Structure 1
């Protein structure tokens, strides 16, 4: 360990700089101008009556002349300001009496009437000791400091394998309770039994019951898994150890296992206790699946966790392990078996009632206007996790502060929702032809969706660029969907093709604006044909080309479970389904060309139209003229795609 590393180096540099500064201050300060006279010249000045006062100290003579004497003939001048020129003459002088002495000096001084002062140089005992032993003490102190730094470095090496988990006990114990956790009622009911066991273990032990050793919280990111673990510790009132799985893994093999042993030893000494391990998949991945057969350090750490949770020796003190992950599909089977993680508590995305409760928790203590209804905001945010809702409330507060408002109103929530889902408005200079293409594209999405059954209502259509999109069509579902019918999915496919079909019908040319629509439609059609058995050509055959993450909602490449011939049939069935839905969209827009033109013109005039305006145009009603300056009509109702379920095309972008 470097003794001069980190803060020590800074302190030493500051100390040295301070010494140099003090030295320069004393060295550069002005000193009296003094002339050094040879002894013979000093006697000549005495005999000439030019000496006013002398101070005799052993062989040294210091005094003051009546008239200045110039330098020369062995006399030198010193002192004065370091920034100015040295004077050529001076009245203060110094000289040295010869070692053999001069018996005639004192009579001569008395004869010339010179004031004589005699002094003896006395050095204090303390100053003598400092000058004698000071350097030795400085050297010994520096040596002791170096040794202490070296010992501290060695102690750091020996503590390398100690657990870095943070212990929260006494006053530091989490104060979060289940009352402050909203939107996870099922998970709270599961964890209530764990809390009851920690509070009243005798009731269960008398009946021979054993509390689960481990509870695994699984769910998408941001759903409150860590908050639930804190609530368990806060309700039970026991010591709470919190750490991340990545803190166990180091460069050196064996360090992770040592830290696991140390963590469980501390937990048993403080038992009953709760150990919370966040992101368990960092060390809990299935063994032997890495490059070259696996990672030795990670697998040794996992083996030590398995032994500590349910090995040869069982702990007397109850230590409950609560772990969290959003990738339960990659965990090692030995970690999930009974006796280790007996229970898996799914912490999913909240429903509309859960979102309302979460919003009320985050609105608590904030100046929210009375016209803000949490139930309406909850209905506008399907698919939002708890962290998303907290971010929504914070963004609304930021918008309110930006507008110098005293209360957080409905318009601020609307602006925050648009920013989170769609991105910030960005000015893009477009010519009239490009604006017309985008207007027809978005009008096509809105019209096809409005004309087909089982479609989510159109909530807002805009051609104002936001984020990476040049135009947006938004939908507001009537409620949370957990299952999708074939007719609903076919409607979604036709709606996705509405933009491309409108370009083809009204403009007579297709553009690159439908890239995102084509990508999402192809993915949806491939799932309908290969996963959900919604194609007559493929029947009930399940033909997937990847493994889908249960919570992240995306596929990862995997081995193909069907032949090349089946893959060709699947591709043909997907292409046929897409072409059929494209033809449906073109037919609807061709038949209702007049409505399509009016929708596009309304977008060119207003830039943003809401649900009521879209319905009025479809009924054949005329819209009032746009406001002065072209200010778009505000709208706060937006729809968020559910990341767990099938990627529902709720937002169509150009």
Structure 2
């Protein structure tokens, strides 16, 4: 009968580690405790030593920088005591010792004893071996999280059967991307159907798009639909202080993936390790990021050589910065755009997240979808959550339509700042400013309408706001519509000029945005009659993060730069003149709406629409 090992018995490695640690600690204490391994010598004051020298009681002395050790003369045949003292700066000491007949010299070096030798040459290696044994046992016990495992992959593994398995039914608004990835799912489920005909499934699929559009969620849904293991890791987790650690983690990740094939490896934020080597960000062949990228390229070339079905999904917001070698066929064969959803997609996303909260039966999600043009999936999820928080804060058990409307304003304009009290003069200026935006915006062409005017401060800097909501999804804008946007942005400043005869700092953001629109019309869209159909901004590819860093201006002559500035100024001036003309034509309506909003602070709905319908365009002046 076999004897089973007691599971509670310590392992041999742990026993050895504890023994070595105990022995090392014992000898360390021997070396640290005074008096162990060396004779004890009494220490006396320096003054007593001098008195004993002057009295002729000292036979010999050994002088060092740290101490003076001396022996008294023999008394009645007995050896004198050995004492020590701390030396001080005394130039007359040698003469005094010589006059009193004291033998003195530098003390000879002390010979090490057995314990000191053992402590210095044997114990440190034993302690080092014990520490290695301890960490090796800990690593074997804890797996990849051990202390010496910085070269191990840190990917999280999701396997089939988890209660939180994500499928395509949990993803909405990206129907085209789902259709592209359905082929990956079919291959993972029935690879023989493709292999029999000689087809080769793409090794890698790159998901690109703005932040919050559901790229990570879509990758999880692919694994959930195919019912295969899903390795998830961020690109930044490959980057390490030690050179070569990132490449080792890449190797370990693909080794684990081969063992669980067929499976999916998902690398989020691929641009953290996949930036182009020609961009100047790399310093040389020993750079850690370059080694990691080279290892990733090598693994994607050869991981399917042994027949293991491993598909790499990656996501990034900056595809324009990726290395061309990473995007060539055979590595990331396909790029799937995961863009912001359209109207139908937003409605489907709201339905998914709306099922997770208690909605009032009267809630119209279609109306919310219409008002949230440009929102990504993460924005819509946050919108539903904000509405639920508002409903709970107000003591309601269900989310009402008013909660969703307020949540939209929170996301767009920020939190209400009712504690920010404006004086009467500032409140009048803000009221006329916002009404000026509303009247001009109501008469401008385009797919937006003024839905609300408020003089309640919101966010960090907004003392009031005019909410314009799109009535439809627009993908193209004409030159007249862009000019209308400039005029609308300058409507607030124009109203201040008409009513008060002066301007304030409240229009700073409006001026910034109006100038940006005018500059894009001239330098990007070629909408200048003087400069013609030329683009003066360099195309930087798909820039999903916004900003101007990826579209620098081309080199132009001084005359062209002056012409660009003149055209931008002309567009802004024309918008300003148009706003002044509209507000002068509707001066009485401007006064009426401003007085009304000073009384109630917020105007919206049918009341606002009935007032704005009375606005009229000015008569065209003869050329």
Please report how far the alpha carbon of residue 413 of structure 1 lies from its aligned counterpart in structure 2 after TM superposition: 1.1
Of the three residues 557, 565, 576, the one matched with 2:570 is: 576
Query: What is residue 450 of structure 1 aligned with on the other side?
Result: 442
Of the three residues 400, 406, 415, the one matched with 1:409 is: 400
> Is 1:490 aligned to 2:477, yes or no?
no
Please report how far the alpha carbon of residue 452 of structure 1 lies from its aligned counterpart in structure 2 after TM superposition: 2.9
Q: 1:418 to 1:315 in 2, by over 3 A?
A: same
- Extract unaligned runs of 5+ from structure 1: 1-7, 9-141, 622-654
Please report how far the alpha carbon of residue 334 of structure 1 lies from its aligned counterpart in structure 2 after TM superposition: 0.6
1:312-331 to structure 2, matched below 5 A, reads 314-331=305-322
1:16-27 to structure 2, matched below 5 A, reads none
Of the three residues 237, 245, 258, the one matched with 2:227 is: 237
Query: What is residue 366 of structure 2 aligned with on the other side?
Result: 375
Of the three residues 173, 193, 215, the one matched with 1:203 is: 193
Query: What is residue 611 of structure 2 aligned with on the other side?
Result: 617
RMSD between aligned residues: 2.4
Please report how far the alpha carbon of residue 182 of structure 1 lies from its aligned counterpart in structure 2 after TM superposition: 1.0
Of the three residues 378, 381, 390, the one matched with 1:390 is: 381
Query: What is residue 455 of structure 2 aligned with on the other side?
Result: 463
Query: What is residue 476 of structure 1 aligned with on the other side?
Result: 469
Q: 1:548 to 1:527 in 2, by over 3 A?
A: farther
Supply the distance in 1 between the matched residues of 2:315 and 2:128 (Cα, whole angstroms): 50
Supply the distance in 1 between the matched residues of 2:303 and 2:353 (Cα, whole angstroms): 46
Q: 1:454 to 1:161 in 2, by over 3 A?
A: closer
Please report how far the alpha carbon of residue 453 of structure 1 lies from its aligned counterpart in structure 2 after TM superposition: 3.1
1:443-592 to structure 2, matched below 5 A, reads 443-454=435-446, 456-467=448-459, 468-544=461-537, 547=540, 550-556=543-549, 558=552, 560-592=554-586
What do the CA deviations read for 1:591-615 (whole angstroms, capped 9, x no partner)?
A: 2211111111111111111142233
Please report how far the alpha carbon of residue 171 of structure 1 lies from its aligned counterpart in structure 2 after TM superposition: 3.4
Q: 1:159 to 1:499 in 2, by over 3 A?
A: same
Query: What is residue 103 of structure 2 aligned with on the other side?
Result: none
Q: 1:206 to 1:586 in 2, by over 3 A?
A: same
Of the three residues 294, 309, 312, the one matched with 2:300 is: 309
> Is 1:354 aligned to 2:345, yes or no?
yes
Of the three residues 134, 139, 142, the one matched with 1:149 is: 134
**Could you tell me whether the CA contact under 8 Å between 2:363 and 2:400 is conserved in 1?**
yes
Supply the distance in 1 between the matched residues of 2:139 and 2:170 (Cα, whole angstroms): 45
Supply the distance in 1 between the matched residues of 2:264 and 2:526 (Cα, whole angstroms): 46
Supply the distance in 2 between the matched residues of 1:234 and 1:570 (Cα, whole angstroms): 53
Query: What is residue 155 of structure 2 aligned with on the other side?
Result: 165
Query: What is residue 178 of structure 1 aligned with on the other side?
Result: 168
- 3-state SS, counterpart of residue 334 of structure 2: strand
What do the CA deviations read for 1:496-520 (whole angstroms, capped 9, x no partner)?
A: 1100111111111111111000000
Q: 1:284 to 1:611 in 2, by over 3 A?
A: same
> TM-score, normalised to structure 2's length?
0.74
**Could you tell me whether the CA contact under 8 Å between 2:537 and 2:553 is conserved in 1?**
no
Query: What is residue 13 of structure 2 aligned with on the other side?
Result: none
Q: 1:535 to 1:335 in 2, by over 3 A?
A: same
Query: What is residue 279 of structure 1 aligned with on the other side?
Result: 269
Supply the distance in 2 between the matched residues of 1:296 and 1:143 (Cα, whole angstroms): 32
Q: 1:207 to 1:507 in 2, by over 3 A?
A: same
Q: 1:199 to 1:619 in 2, by over 3 A?
A: closer
Supply the distance in 2 between the matched residues of 1:358 and 1:170 (Cα, whole angstroms): 25
Of the three residues 574, 590, 598, the one matched with 1:604 is: 598
> Is 1:431 aligned to 2:423, yes or no?
yes
Please report how far the alpha carbon of residue 416 of structure 1 lies from its aligned counterpart in structure 2 after TM superposition: 1.6
Please report how far the alpha carbon of residue 167 of structure 1 lies from its aligned counterpart in structure 2 after TM superposition: 2.1
Please report how far the alpha carbon of residue 233 of structure 1 lies from its aligned counterpart in structure 2 after TM superposition: 0.5
**Could you tell me whether the CA contact under 8 Å between 1:446 and 1:461 is conserved in 2?**
yes
Q: 1:173 to 1:340 in 2, by over 3 A?
A: farther
Q: 1:538 to 1:154 in 2, by over 3 A?
A: same
Supply the distance in 1 between the matched residues of 2:453 and 2:342 (Cα, whole angstroms): 26
Q: 1:144 to 1:268 in 2, by over 3 A?
A: closer
Supply the distance in 1 between the matched residues of 2:154 and 2:190 (Cα, whole angstroms): 30
**Could you tell me whether the CA contact under 8 Å between 2:455 and 2:601 is conserved in 1?**
yes
Query: What is residue 27 of structure 2 aligned with on the other side?
Result: none
What do the CA deviations read for 1:378-435 (whole angstroms, capped 9, x no partner)?
A: 1111111111111111111111111111111111112222222111111222221111
Please report how far the alpha carbon of residue 562 of structure 1 lies from its aligned counterpart in structure 2 after TM superposition: 2.4
Q: 1:277 to 1:423 in 2, by over 3 A?
A: same
1:248-267 to structure 2, matched below 5 A, reads 248-267=238-257
Q: 1:389 to 1:603 in 2, by over 3 A?
A: same
Supply the distance in 2 between the matched residues of 1:527 and 1:219 (Cα, whole angstroms): 22
Between 488-497 and 542-551, report the one with greater CA deviation: 542-551
Supply the distance in 2 between the matched residues of 1:184 and 1:455 (Cα, whole angstroms): 24
Supply the distance in 1 between the matched residues of 2:613 and 2:213 (Cα, whole angstroms): 42
User: Which of 1 and 2 has greater Rg?
Assistant: 1
Supply the distance in 1 between the matched residues of 2:398 and 2:533 (Cα, whole angstroms): 56
**Could you tell me whether the CA contact under 8 Å between 1:174 and 1:233 is conserved in 2?**
no
What do the CA deviations read for 1:310-331 (whole angstroms, capped 9, x no partner)?
A: 1598341111000011110100
Supply the distance in 1 between the matched residues of 2:605 and 2:365 (Cα, whole angstroms): 21
Please report how far the alpha carbon of residue 148 of structure 1 lies from its aligned counterpart in structure 2 after TM superposition: 4.4
> TM-score, normalised to structure 1's length?
0.70
**Could you tell me whether the CA contact under 8 Å between 1:459 and 1:474 is conserved in 2?**
yes
Supply the distance in 1 between the matched residues of 2:543 and 2:501 (Cα, whole angstroms): 43
**Could you tell me whether the CA contact under 8 Å between 1:501 and 1:582 is conserved in 2?**
yes
Supply the distance in 1 between the matched residues of 2:474 and 2:246 (Cα, whole angstroms): 44
Please report how far the alpha carbon of residue 619 of structure 1 lies from its aligned counterpart in structure 2 after TM superposition: 5.3
Supply the distance in 1 between the matched residues of 2:199 and 2:128 (Cα, whole angstroms): 62
Supply the distance in 1 between the matched residues of 2:295 and 2:362 (Cα, whole angstroms): 56
